[in-house]
Structure 1
Amino acid sequence: WDLRGELDLTSRWLRTVKLSAGLTDYEHRELAGDVVGTRFLSDAWETRLELVQRAIGDWSGSFGVQLGATDLEAEGDEAFLAPSATDVAAAFVFEELRRGDWRWLAGARWERQTIDTTFRDRPLARDFDAVSASFGVSRSLPRDWIVVATLSRATRIPTVEELASFGEHEATRSFEIGDPELDKETTWGLDLALRRVEGVVSGELDLFWNRIDGFIYERPVPVPAGVTTDLPAFMFTADDADFRGGEARVEWRLHDRAGRQLALELSSQYVRAERRRDGTPLPFIPPWRTSLGLHLHGPRVFGLIEVTHAADQDRVFCEPGLPASVCETPTDGYTTLGGYVGLRVVRKGLVHELILRGDNLTDEIARNHVSRLKDFAPMPGRNVSLTWRVDF
């Protein structure tokens, strides 16, 4: 369940108090054939208190605290993770200054996390403190253009799965090996963006560069000595890494009249990631991807037809000493066709939508490079569905 509430204040400095709390009792089962191989049980709670400042001139912002805890347990013959308890405490602040065409943003977060579990029958207790901060600036330009720059330093604490896994994980068809000595990831990031939000032609161009110290990833390795398994082995490993890439989107409004819009949209995404010490490509990095879609927006009829292309991914992870059978394998590109058409009707305050949707209409055999199941389970083939949705 979730509980959310707000209280408006009459204080000179504070405008609103926001409180949220949640409790989750979660279970899922992973099948090995017709039997349950692993059963995951998770009990978690989280609460967040946020104080929103009353605007002082051009200044506004908020600050608060967050507390939470998670108990995770994996049961079954294929359980690869011992029971664990994770506790989290955090504090955060966000400030914004608007002055003319300029907008300045700054934020910071401190987090403390404790993890108690076992690794290969040995007790494992880790404590982490993480500090993250960001600073951004944007400026509105003539003809509805906006330019944005953001500099950030982010810290990520390793998960209990990355620290303490050891065993077969049938859902990913892999033997997973954690590293109890993993430290925090620290990322320095720079993001630059140019956007146009109005006009017949609109769009955005986003470029990013991330320098990550201690980047945690799953590295293909030989099966450990003394272990009997038919599954490939992956070990959680930390290496310094560099990520760079970008995303572009352009929309051309072909028709806009009487509440009806017809627009052509072209979008593309690309990321390049490699280990800093030797330039080796990191595993499970998505290929260049682009989409071309024709959108129809109307009060009654709406729809989309879209072509998506993913390029070959031949920048794969391998290093000296690894057998070829252990190295990451290239993935062929693919092109898919999909879309939907819908009818919207309003009756007695209810909004009814009838939507006919089709995915991969050409029944292309497509494999997702970032999935460890790509050689066993391609992406879904041709799929057609009819949905009736009611909003009230």
Structure 2
Amino acid sequence: HVASGWWIGGQVSYTERAPNESELFADGPHLATSQYQIGDSSLDKEKGTNIEASLRWENDLFSISGNVFHADFDGFIYLTPGVAIEDGLEVDELDELPVFLFQQQGAKFTGAEIEAEARFPEGLLGASWVTSASLDIVEGELNDGNNVPYLPPLTFHAALDADWGLWSAGWTLTAAADQDDPGAGILPTDGYVTTGLRAAIDLAEAGFGKDGTQLFVEGRNLTDEEVRYSTSVLKDAVPAPGRNIRMGIRVSF
């Protein structure tokens, strides 16, 4: 911590993990992901070194922070389209499902995050207002020069929330760029922009339950955008939900 609300941080970490049973011994249909997965019993430990730096400034009303990182993996384990041997022939489908193999090689990830927030305790219409925004980016490359599969694209989030004590309301926006570096054998993914609205009654303020108990209604993807997440193995077959409305009660104990 330094003067005038600044904070500077750094971190270096080293991690290891053993491959799990699916990565080692899978050999059959995975119906939840519509893949025929084949493991590799010769996989070794996955080892990674991560370097991270952070910078933050804040006062009573505003805050902004940035974070950059670089991770270097030795023996990164990932799932990728491939071929199998059936009756002496190479095939890319088994049981009418595409073949996916667990493989391992070195990989490097580089990314950054930026977040900002502004707070107005006694703002317009007598509400306490909070507005926030964030930007996230990550890139990953395998040692063979191919991109790491199933990474998210450059993504921007924004939100505006108003709180009157008993009542609250909010608006959200998410904008994701195209994912044009999808990894070997993976199709690119189109970007999207979605918006949402939310309103809630604070039941704790009305004397029911503990702090955080509320009755809420929210509308998601109000523009009915076709959204396919580049991080999903089912993105080409199953899009995210379109326009939808949700109601519920959240109870805190």
Please give the TM-score of this superposition, normalised by the length of structure 1. 0.59
State the Cα distance separating 1:222 from its structure 2 match: 2.3
The one of the two structures with greater contact order (alpha-carbon pairs below 8 A, sep at least 6) is 2
Stretches of 4+ aligned residues off by more than 6 angstroms: none
For the pair 1:377 / 2:238, whether they are aligned, the reply is: yes
Output one character per residue of 1:154-176: Cα deviation in whole Å (capped at 9) or x when no partner: 11111111111011111000010
Structure 2 gap ranges (5+): none
CA contact (8 A) 2:109 2:141 kept: yes
| Aligned length in residues | 243
Bigger proportion of residues as strand: 1
Structure 1 gap ranges (5+): 1-139, 319-326
Match of 1:268 in 2: 135
Output one character per residue of 1:139-197: Cα deviation in whole Å (capped at 9) or x when no partner: x0112221110011111111111111011111000010101011111111101011234
For the pair 1:235 / 2:101, whether they are aligned, the reply is: yes
CA contact (8 A) 2:19 2:43 kept: yes
**2:122 maps to amino acid:** R
State the Cα distance separating 1:349 from its structure 2 match: 5.8
Output one character per residue of 1:302-331: Cα deviation in whole Å (capped at 9) or x when no partner: 22201101110111222xxxxxxxx11101
CA contact (8 A) 2:218 2:246 kept: yes
Are residues 294 and 275 of structure 1, via their aligned partners in 2, closer, same or farther at CA, if it must alter by over 3 Å?
same
For the pair 1:333 / 2:191, whether they are aligned, the reply is: yes
State the Cα distance separating 1:348 from its structure 2 match: 4.8
Distance of 1:142 and 1:307 partners within structure 2: 34
Distance of 1:343 and 1:251 partners within structure 2: 24
In the TM superposition, what are the counterparts of 1:1-392 in structure 2 within 5 Å? Answer: 140-226=1-87, 228-253=94-119, 255-257=120-122, 260-276=127-143, 278-318=144-184, 327-345=185-203, 346-348=205-207, 350-351=209-210, 352-392=213-253
Distance of 2:106 and 2:81 partners within structure 1: 17
State the Cα distance separating 1:386 from its structure 2 match: 1.5
Distance of 1:266 and 1:343 partners within structure 2: 24
State the Cα distance separating 1:198 from its structure 2 match: 3.3
Q: Percent identity between the aligned chains? A: 33
State the Cα distance separating 1:298 from its structure 2 match: 4.1
Distance of 1:317 and 1:185 partners within structure 2: 19
Are residues 349 and 307 of structure 1, via their aligned partners in 2, closer, same or farther at CA, if it must alter by over 3 Å?
closer
Output one character per residue of 1:186-237: Cα deviation in whole Å (capped at 9) or x when no partner: 1111010112343322021111000100000002102433474221111111
CA contact (8 A) 2:182 2:230 kept: no
Distance of 2:122 and 2:85 partners within structure 1: 65
CA contact (8 A) 1:191 1:208 kept: yes
Distance of 1:166 and 1:293 partners within structure 2: 44
Distance of 2:208 and 2:190 partners within structure 1: 49
Distance of 1:347 and 1:272 partners within structure 2: 47
CA contact (8 A) 1:223 1:232 kept: no
CA RMSD of aligned residues (A): 1.9
- Structure (1 or 2) with the larger CA radius of gyration: 1
